[in-house]
Structure 1
Amino acid sequence: MNNINHKLAQAALPPLQAAGRVTHCFADGSLMVECEGRGWHCRRAASCLIAPAVGDSVLIAGAADKAWLLAVLERADEGSAELSLPGDLHIRSAGELSLSGATLKVEAQQGTATSAR
């Protein structure tokens, strides 16, 4: 005997995963992504640390009534990228942690630096 709840089986949007291009970044952090001839209003997935910009090629996924931007696949402007999170960020390594670049700039309104030795 099959008891199927047809209401649960019918999602507002079919499950999807597709590549697209960012067409708009809204003030609330959401984005419009165009793929397969349609616009998708997306939220950035928590795992997407690179802040998407207009023109970037991205991967989106959706289910039910939500769509998420999972990853930036290619930057429209390869010259720079911004790692961005809505809250605090803590980086921890059991081993060495290093930063390297042609120049290093650190800015903060307040700060502390500590070392065990």
Structure 2
Amino acid sequence: MGSLYYGDSAEPIGIEDRALAHLKVVISTKLRRNESFTLSWAHPETDVVGRSTIWLHPSIPLRFVFDEAEPPELSREWIEALARSANSTGGIALVDERISGPASLETARS
């Protein structure tokens, strides 16, 4: 389970490493373009029932922490789906990965 540290909050948002790696690509791209947007996710089964949304802006500190030392191979389809949702009025909706083919791209170590 990876962690997304948002703003000055000491409590991280827990996101599975593979999902966090895909989010990192989309979020970094949007913030590099100086674009603001929201990120929404359903609470894990071990948490209080519900969902959360945060506003992402280039001026708000953000840190990605992964439990795994090696980055996963990324799915181009999942990145594209997350990017499409990031460009919508609803912002990024963190959804499960849907594997439909061999389309993937190598990750760069960061």
Range of TM-score over shorter length: under 0.3
Of structures 1 and 2, the larger Rg is shown by 1
Q: Which protein has greater RCO, CA pairs closer than 8 Å, 6+ apart?
A: 2
Higher helix share: 2
Higher strand share: 1
